[in-house]
Amino acid sequence: MERLRILVLFGGCSSEHEVSLQSAHGVLTHMDPERYCPIPVGITREGAWYVYTGPLDAIPGGRWQREAACVPCTLRLDRGNQALVLLDGSGREVAFDLAFPVLHGRNGEDGTVQGALELAGVPLVGCGTLSSALCMDKDRSHKLAALAGELPLDQFYEELMIRTGYAVMLETKNTVEDRSRNTGLAAVCQAGAGGFFLRREPGGGAGTAGSGGGGGLPPRRRDFAGGGHSRL
């Protein structure tokens, strides 16, 4: 079976640069090598792109930039040619099938990179340009949800689970507004192996969100009080 070539983008011009390095290391080390051929591409804080073929353990601490296994590159933007162009003078290209932006914060999670990929006709993992931009802008996303008739948080997740059949990953945010609006969180998100879950904890509005630990993802949990907001 031919492996799927996945462009994995990490780093970026963001204050959350280090978070992206940790996330990308988790993604790259848990990809099934029999099914996927990852192509790691690191983006420096200054915005330079490098194809990285060195040890994955050098990524989380930022040592990857000092490795000799870094070749400058750029994305080929003409549609129908899903490839990176190496900027080492060789003129070589590295073809891929789809892109997985493992980026956090501005200039990566906010629709900017997604827009470049969509312009080039590259299939991508995760949200598209508009949904990424809205998810990054909490004020506008809440206003848009309110215009559409915003549901209470527990009803929202329940409806989403029913319609999609997928588990939901959520990011929590402890604010006065959240605590006042989203108390008594219901057990609406039950996931299988490798998914995420949300369950009610004793004592009202406290809950736990985390990964199920299957499918190559390590078990994690995050406790919170009050409520949360979705990252969709």
Instruction: Give percent of the chain above pLDDT 70.
Output: 69
Which pLDDT score, from 0 to 100, does residue 151 have? 64
123-127, 144-148, 192-196, range with the lowest pLDDT: 192-196
Between residues 40 and 180, which one has the greater pLDDT?
40
What is the rounded distance in angstroms from the CA atom of residue 108 to the CA atom of residue 79? 21
Between residues 229 and 115, which one has the greater pLDDT?
115
What would the 3-class secondary structure string for 146-188 be?
A: HHCCCCCHHHHHHHHHHHHCCCCCEEECCCHHHHHHCCCCCCC
Average pLDDT for 132-159: 77
Amino acid at 43: I
Between residues 85 and 142, which one has the greater pLDDT?
85
Residue 49 sits at the vertex; the CA angle it makes with 45 and 52, to the nearest 5 degrees, is 105
Which pLDDT score, from 0 to 100, does residue 88 have? 93
What is the rounded distance in angstroms from the CA atom of residue 207 to the CA atom of residue 183? 10
Between residues 70 and 166, which one has the greater pLDDT?
70
Task: Give the residue from 122, 54, 117 showing the smallest Cα distance to 82.
Answer: 122
- Contact of 17 with 11, CB cutoff 8 Å: yes
